[in-house]
Structure 1
């Protein structure tokens, strides 16, 4: 599912216009990005937790040439799924 498909599903499930659903999704993304950028954690009960993860400076190798390279530090995001999400994905039919 891409962004436009998600917007369309939001519109269909909640009603309203496509632009209202798009505005909602863009505001949600902006809030999550800002919070994670301030080292905050986002917890959506039952769905999961988004948490910034600080990767350190480390050595690596160029897979094509085998040449050693230094990988700079960066911030990534870890997602830990919640119980209800895991249960929904793994329910037996």
Structure 2
């Protein structure tokens, strides 16, 4: 499912028009991005949690040349599914 399909599904489920559904989705994405930038966790009970995770500098290899390359430290995001989501997808 891509963003346009998600907007259509949101509009269908909520009764919103597509423009309002797009604004709601864009606002959600903006809020999540802001919170991750602040290194804040987002927890949606039953669905899951998004947690920013720091990754340290590490040595990797360029797959094309095999040459060692140092990857700079960065922050990634970990998603941990909630109980109800796991139950729903494993029925």
**Fold match (TM-score > 0.5):** yes
- TM-aligned CA deviation for residue 16 of structure 1: 2.1
Stretches of structure 1 that go unaligned for 5 or more consecutive residues are none
Alpha-carbon contact 2:50-2:79 (below 8 Å) kept: yes
Q: TM-score, normalised by structure 2?
A: 0.97
Q: Which runs of 4+ in 1 moved over 3 A?
A: none
Q: TM-score, normalised by structure 1?
A: 0.95
SS of 1:40 mapped into structure 2: coil
Alpha-carbon contact 2:41-2:52 (below 8 Å) kept: yes
Alpha-carbon contact 2:55-2:73 (below 8 Å) kept: yes
Q: Please, what is the CA RMSD of the aligned residues?
A: 0.6
The yes-or-no answer on 1:84 pairing with 2:84 is yes
Stretches of structure 2 that go unaligned for 5 or more consecutive residues are none
Instruction: Quote the residue 2:47 is aligned against.
Output: 47
**What is the number of residues matched between the two proteins?**
91
